[in-house]
Structures are given as structure tokens and as C-alpha cells.
Amino acid sequence: MDIYSSTISNKKMYLRVMKQSMTMLSLLMWLAGMAVVDAQIEEKCATEQQQQGKKCQRACRCECDEYWNTDDFCKDVCDSTSNKPVVDELSWCVDYNVADECDIYGSDWTNNNRVKSKLDIVYMKAYGRDFKLNFFTDTKRKELLPLAVVIHGGGFNSGSKNNCKIIESAREFAARGFRTIAINYPMCGAYWTYVDPDEPVPLFDDTSSEGGWYDWNAESPLNPPYIGQQDPQCKKGAAHPKTHPEQYAQAAEVANRAARYAIQYAHKKANKWKIDVEQTVCHGGSAGALSCYEMFLFDTTVQYKPTTTGLPLEPDLDQIKINVAAGRAGGLTPARGVTQATVDAMVPGAAIYDLHGTEDDVVNITAAYFLMDEMEKYDIPATLSVIEGGGHSLFEYQFNKSHPERLNEMFTFIDDYLEGSDEQNFCKDNHEWIFRGNTKKNCGWVHKGDSTKLCKRKNEDKPKAKEDCPVACGTEKECATPKCVNDDEWSPKNNKFDDCSAIEEMDDNYKNKACATIGADEKTFGYEACQQCNICDTGEE
């Protein structure tokens, strides 16, 4: 198998051929065919009306570096541009923005919406390729917000951050108060070379074999960085029976590592992008959900067979923690064994949510049940939402404007557990408290969830409203300067009131704004603090 390089008209082309080289005649025939394709595209998209048509706009969506893409239409388009970006080569695609074209959920994102995007940001290099992310944010929110990472599915052999379902998911997270990144990550075609399904995967450092895993730190790509250029064995996804038994066994480890690099990149932008680096959510469907759960449960030291992948340990990446993983059609297999050591490495208070159909024929629901069993074993808060008769793809089910409760269920779960993951929140009351069926000695996290939920002290039957739960002090010591709201004047939104009753009547969007006691030297308190006595004068929200 050889790779040939030829320079024609200052355009470099890579041709991958097997067994015998390309003849001059076949090369000329190929070039002639490319010219015909180019002429056809230009001819069919000659007028402004044609350029706004579905086919011409579809050409703008083609990404010519998608090594996994087997779509003949995009192959023809990319051939016509010599695999250069279509936005640079096709005149009607210059102002094309894939995010503006996506409106599956029906949220009318382009109509005076506050969610804006920045696309195709390179966040890492791996296997000799650049990998990119899209960033979405509510431009009107100036405060620090949690980070959401959205990971696409596709059987670990296909998929894109520019898929409309991924863009819709990312925008929904951004609209609900998250700084959001949607990522591309290495898939089979970036690292895999054919291995006979009846043979073991060669060891990574076995130089006598050409099959198996490529080097994560390689300077150049395994295959030419053009559309459709991958090993034929990668054309089948992880669930296909004809793949090598171990071809995708560690694919989630690769996605885990890439997502951590993406988070690390976002953290470096935290001041500019207004990200709360202590709060991170991961969301995805299918392979995206599996990747989120992998990152939630395991750091880069927990590898299935490192001798075959050659994946290096990344101690800096292991400092990144996921507070909540929430996905669709995910799960866990016994091969990825959860241990007390892996649990101890997680952020305290972390929680996991999965939406799954009983008729899922790709990721069987038994994988989700096994995940829940493992979480219960280690007292990790977890919820499995089962859809009777539901299949594998549940995006249309979950993102359904006619049934907002379906998506709200996931976001309520995220809100309930996200802010409660801070280990430094200690309760003045050291009794065990029960919230959403989970027992915690530390009730600081109870205090920040959905105000309609109830909590109660363990072994007490009478439930209490969330506001009755003890307030977190931010320190194990007793509160230094307790305050009572009715003994101070409070200044919500720069208006003076004798108490916080006015805050309680505010719109929900303003309740989370800080309020301060008059003359408190700019120390601020969150909404819950305003409505209770014995508040610790720590300046904590």
C-alpha cells in the first residue's frame, strides 16, 4: 500500500492506491472527472436563487477534512475544490454558517436570539491531525457560568460537531445558562489500521506489524487528511458484528482524553469566556453518552489495554472533573470496572443521568441497567429514565417542543446536582439530610437545587422545604458573624428594602443576582441567604 504525491497547478493531491501505482492515463481520467464535477456544481449553482437552493446549500455543509465521511455527494464537492474548505472555494458558501442553518428543535435560534457561536476553533492536535470545537454562549449573561461539553455520537467511526442535532443540543445548553462547547474527537479512521478479526491486536511498540493503533503524538496523519480517507475496516461502527472484537474497545478512552483537552482549552479561556471552572457537565447521545460516562468515571490512568493503544498518561488532564454526566442511549460494560479507587478520583457529589429506550438495538438497555447498578453500589446519585418501546435515537423524543417536560427532566437533574458538587460546602447542622432519595452528611449541595423539591432530616418523617435546610458556611468552623435578614437593610438590584420580601417576588432571572446588606463593604449574598436568619458573613453566595 503506497501513498503518492503529485503537484499539479500548485495544488497538492494525495492518492492512495493499493498493489499498483496509478498510471498517467488513469490520473488524467481522474482529473477530467474532477473538472466535470466542478463544472456541474458551478453550473447548477450559477444564479443567486439556485445558490440558496437545498443542493447548493448542502454543498456548503461538506467538510473536506472529514476522513470518515463516505457521502458521495460531499466527496464530489470536495474533489471539485481539491479538498480545500468549500467556504473558501465556492463563492456562495463564503458567508455560510452551519449553526444558523440548524433548527430541528424549533427554537428559532436565528431570530434575535442571545445565543451566539464561534465555530471551528482548534483545541488540540492528535494522531497528526487538528481537532476543533464550536463555542456557544448567551452574550447577555456576564457572570461566570458552568461549562457544558457536548459530544456527538456515531459509533466511534463517524459524526461531527456540526451535525444539526449537536448544534441544537449545544444551543439549548447555552440558552439555559451554560458556556457550551461541542467537539470533534479522534475516531477510528484517525488511528486504526486493519487487523484480521481472528488475530489479536498487535502491541503498540511492535514494529514488525503494520496493523492496529497509530501514535497519539504522531506529527503527520495516518492517512491523507482528505474526505473519506480511512482504513476500510473503519467504515463499520462499534456495534457492527464484522469489526475486530477490540477495534472499538478503547474508543471511549480516546474520546475521554480528547474531551479533557477541550475542557482544558476552555478553562484557559475561562476569564474571556466567563466560565466557572469548578462546574462541568457532559452531554451526548450513543457514543457521545458513552464518552461522557467514561470521562465521568475514569481518568486517563484507567486503560483497558494500554500496551496496544500506546496512549500516554496525562496527569494534568486527570485534574479535570465532571460534575454531572447526562446522556441518551449510554451505558457501561463489565470490561470497564468501577472500583473504589476510581470513585475516589471523582468529584464529590457527582451524578449521572441516562435516557434509554427498551428497544434500543445498538446499545442494549442492559448496559444502562449495569451502569445504574454500579452507581448504586458506590452511592453515586444516578437516574435512568426508561422509554418503553423507545429505540436507539431518542433526540426527537427528548427535544420535542410538544413535550417540554422530557427535556426539562434532564435539566432539572443537572440543576439539582451540579452546584452541590462542591466539597467545601459544609453544613452548620451535621445531621444527615435526604434529598431526592440520596443521603448526604453535607447538605450544602441540597441548598442550591430546585426550590420546589423537599428535603428532610434522616429518620424524620416530616419533610421540610429546601429553604429550611441548614445553610452552608463554606468552612467546617462555626459561622463567624451570623446575620438575620430582618435586622439589616438589604439592597437587591441597588434598591433599598427593609427585608428581602421584594427579592422573593422578583422574576426568576433576577433572583440569582447578588444582594448585599447596606454598608457591608461590598460583601454579597445569594438569594437563599437573603431570606434566612443566621447567615454566615463569609461573602459566599
- Phi, psi at residue 397, to the nearest 5°? -70, -50
For residues 170 and 203, the answer to whether their CB atoms sit within 8 Å is no
181 plus 274 within the same structural domain = yes
Residue 232 maps to a domain: no
CATH number at residue 391: 3.40.50.1820
Q: How far apart are CA 40 and CA 51, in angstroms?
A: 13
Residues 91 and 134 in one domain: no
Is the residue at 59 inside a domain?
yes
Query: Does residue 3 lie in a domain region?
Result: no
pLDDT along the chain (541 residues), means of 10: 31 29 39 45 84 89 92 91 90 88 67 81 97 95 95 96 94 94 97 95 90 96 93 91 91 97 97 95 98 96 92 93 97 90 90 97 96 94 96 93 92 85 37 45 41 46 48 34 40 46 52 44 43 38 35
The 10 Å Cβ neighbour count of residue 365 is 19
Is 288 a member of any domain?
Answer: yes
Examine the domain organization and report whether 393 and 267 are in the same domain.
Answer: yes
3 state SS of 6: strand
Answer with the one of 420, 455, 475 that is the final residue of a domain: 420
Return the amino acid letter for 233. Answer: Q
The C-alpha cell at 421 is 458538587
* 272 plus 126 within the same structural domain: yes
- 3-class secondary-structure state, position 519: coil
C-beta of residue 330 within 8 angstroms of C-beta of residue 410: no
Same-domain check for residues 83 and 157: no
Q: Cα–Cα distance between 173 and 150 in angstroms, integer?
A: 9
In whole angstroms, what is the distance from residue 361 CA to residue 359 CA? 6
Compute how many other C-beta atoms are within 10 angstroms of the C-beta atom of residue 318.
15
CA dihedral sign of residues 151, 152, 158, 162: negative
- Name the β-bridge partners of 483: 535
Examine the domain organization and report whether 39 and 151 are in the same domain: no
CA–CA dist 3, 11 (Å, integer): 16
Q: Say yes or no: 26 and 141 in one domain.
A: no
Cα 420 from chain centroid (whole Å)? 20
Q: What is this structure's pTM? A: 0.73
Nearest to 36 by CA among 76, 87, 84, 86: 76
Q: Which of 83, 32, 60 is nearest to 224 (CA)?
A: 83
pLDDT at 461: 55
Q: In this structure, what C-alpha cell is assigned to residue 439? A: 443521603
Helices (H) and strands (E) in the chain, counts: 19, 16
| 384 and 345 belong to one structural domain | yes
The CA distance from 199 to 399, in Å, is 43
Contact between 135 and 116 (Cβ < 8 Å) = no
Are 168 and 268 in the same domain? yes
With contact defined as beta carbons under 8 Å apart, do 14 and 226 qualify?
Answer: yes
Whole-angstrom distance, CA of residue 409 vs CA of residue 162: 25
Q: Cα 195 from chain centroid?
A: 31
CA 524 to chain centre: 32
- 124 and 84 assigned to the same domain: no
Residue 274 included in any domain:
yes
- Gap between the Cα atoms of 329 and 288, Å rounded: 9
DSSP string for residues in 293-332: HHHHH--TT--S-HHHH-PPP-TTGGG---SEEEEES---
Contact 123, 259 (CB under 8 A): no
The residue behind cell 449545544 is: 170
Specify the pairing of strand 11-17 against strand 115-126.
unpaired
Q: How far apart are the first and last CA of the chain?
A: 63
> Phi and psi dihedrals of 213, rounded to 5?
-90, 145
Same domain, 411 and 361: yes
What SS3 state is found at 66? coil
Output the CA torsion sign for 288, 293, 296, 300.
negative
**CA-CA distance, 338 to 323, in Å (whole number)?**
17
The reply to whether 485 falls in a domain is no
- Whether residues 252 and 175 share a domain: the answer is yes
The domain boundary, picked from 420, 451, 475, lies at 420
Of the residues 50, 70, 96, the one at which a domain ends: 96
User: What integer pLDDT is reported at residue 478 of this predicted model?
Assistant: 35
Query: Based on the structure, what is the number of domains in the chain?
Result: 2
Residue 454 CB neighbours (<10 A): 14
What is the Cα–Cα distance from 374 to 265, expressed in whole angstroms?
31
444 is a domain residue: no
Secondary structure (3-state) at 74:
helix
Is residue 514 within 8 Å of residue 539, measured between CB atoms? no
CA separation for the pair 497, 88 (Å, rounded) = 58
Residue 12, C-alpha cell as written in the block: 497538492
Q: Which domain holds residue 315?
A: 111-189+247-420
How far is residue 279 from each of residues 275, 353, 414, 417, 424, measured CA to CA in Å?
A: 9, 16, 11, 10, 13
**Is residue 206 a part of any domain in this protein?**
no
Which long-range contacts does 10-18 make (Cβ < 8 Å, 24+ apart)? 11/82, 13/82, 13/83, 14/224, 14/226, 14/229, 16/223, 16/224, 16/229
